[in-house]
Structure 1
Amino acid sequence: MLREILTIARRGVTVTYIPGNHDEMFREWLGLGFEVAGVRMARDAVHEGADGRSYLVIHGDEFDGVIRYAKVLAHLGDWAYDWALALNRVLNLGRRRLGYPYWSLSQWLKRQVKGAVKAIDRFKLALAGEARRRGLDGVICGHIHHAEMRMVQGVMYMNDGDWVESCTALVEHADGRFELVDWAAENRLSFWRRLGSPVVAVA
């Protein structure tokens, strides 16, 4: 994946790398005009969609109270998250052998904790508020690993999730329409197709 991104950057496509809390050491290079293989680094960016609407593109950890004000809790959370991912890999290896589709343990754990659900809601409100403050139509972010597209107080909130936990990505179509691609769901469809069962698509 990284090689493909570098290839399109060398072909002249504008690629912007926005560091997050897991690679925050690169933030020390921001403001230096640092560029590698055609990839520029920035704290955030504004993306103008094909339909003319503008979106704040930001990792989002700056708006997470735990990351900003409780570093010890943040490190404990990272440690617990890494363990959940490791356990998730083992669990899904067994599920795959039994013919079951991908399932995210860490996402399930988050949904069981009321505090986590409230934190996600606060995060959405904070990011939507920042986009509105800058006079933009929406925000594209990540950080909380919870893929979602919805209007939040008149601003389009789009979280692309991630490739590790939710196996999702955000894509923009030529007409400016955005879509969340769910690799796990796609994989589930291909699994049933291999079994010869009919596939029903619901729009």
Structure 2
Amino acid sequence: IYLTGNHDDLLRKFSDLKLGNLEIRDKLTLKINGKNYWFFHGDVFDVSVNYAKWIARLGGKGYDLLIRINRIINRLLKKYGHPPKSFSKKIKNNIKNAVKFISDFEKTAAELAIENEFDYVVCGHIHSPCIHTVRTSHGQVIYMNSGDWVENLTALEYQMGKWQMFDYLAEHSSSNVPRPATIIESVYA
């Protein structure tokens, strides 16, 4: 099952399509060990993606331009003996802080999950890996975010009846594995 996200506008037109073992879905509900689970990407709660798609599209093209400019600036920084900088990461962090995006996102997802009688809500849009309980005046839900495989190198795993966060860097901390963002920055430098 492939769950669509904010980069999958074209695929969303084929939601609920089955091609052999591949199924395209916008969301998924499962019952696991008597508990109700709700899986979805999470971009439905992102105002910039949901209500201003042209801003999101511009953001994608702007990001590509920012990477090119960042590459030129990093060459100059290197020439003058300074370390490279990642402007895209700084901008992304500032935007998220400006709108309190993570906490609002988790709260919205949790409230809707509780309202719909789910025990677990699982998503990934904000790329902030975690597993924790969210309590409201109407109940509680286990909120899980898979993080991502680009910056955090994290994923959710379900084994032996339990959920856990797999953190590649923590598992391989002694091997000096470079973070993907560091590799990308060095390629563009």
Contact 1:142 1:161 in 2 (8 A): yes
Structure 2 CA distance, aligned partners of 1:44 and 1:68? Answer: 16
Q: Find 1:42's aligned residue among 17, 21, 25.
A: 25
Shift of 1:165: 1.9
Deviation at 1:184, TM superposition (A): 2.0
Q: Cα gap change, 1:54/1:182 in structure 2, threshold over 3 Å: closer, same or farther?
A: same
Q: What is residue 115 of structure 2 aligned with on the other side? A: 133
Match of residue 164, structure 1, among 136, 142, 150: 150
Q: CA deviation at 1:112?
A: 5.0
- Counterpart of 1:183 in structure 2 is 168
Q: Spell out, residue by residue over 1:42-77, the C-alpha distance to the aligned partner (whole angstroms, 9 max, x if none).
A: 22111223x322210001111111111122332344
Residue of structure 2 aligned with 1:26, choices 2, 5, 11: 11
The 3 A distance-change label for structure 1 pair 69 and 29 is: same
> Structure 1 residue 138: deviation in Å?
1.4
Identity of aligned residues (%): 34
- Residue 18 of structure 2 aligns with an amino acid whose one-letter code is E
CA distances 1:91-143 after superposition (whole Å, capped 9, x unpaired):
9xxxxxxxxxxxx9866665555215x11111111111221121110100011
Is 1:149 aligned to residue 135 of structure 2?
no
Structure-1-length-normalised TM-score: 0.66
The amino acid across from 1:182 in the alignment is D
Which runs of no fewer than 5 residues in structure 1 stay unpaired? 1-15, 92-103, 193-203
The aligned runs of 1:1-203 (5 Å cut-off) are 16-31=1-16, 34-49=17-32, 51-79=33-61, 110-111=92-93, 114-116=97-99, 118-153=100-135, 154-175=140-161, 177-191=162-176
Match for 2:155: what amino acid? A
Alpha-carbon distance between aligned partners in 2 of 1:186 and 1:22, rounded to the nearest angstrom: 29
Shift, 1:83, TM fit: 6.8
The SS at the match of 2:125 is coil
Quick check: 1:106–1:165 contact (8 Å CA) kept in 2?
no
1:190 alignment partner AA = S
Per-residue displacement from partner, 1:164-197 (whole Å, max 9, x unpaired)?
121110001212x2111111222323339xxxxx
Partner of 1:96: none
- 2:38 & 2:21 partners in 1: Cα distance? 21
Instruction: Tell me if structure 2 keeps the 8 A contact 1:20–1:143.
Output: yes
1:83, 1:138 → 2: CA distance?
39
Higher strand share: 2
Task: Confirm or deny: 8 A CA contact 1:107 1:165 kept in the other structure.
Answer: no
- CA 1:85–1:57 in structure 2 vs 1: closer, same or farther (change >3 Å)? farther
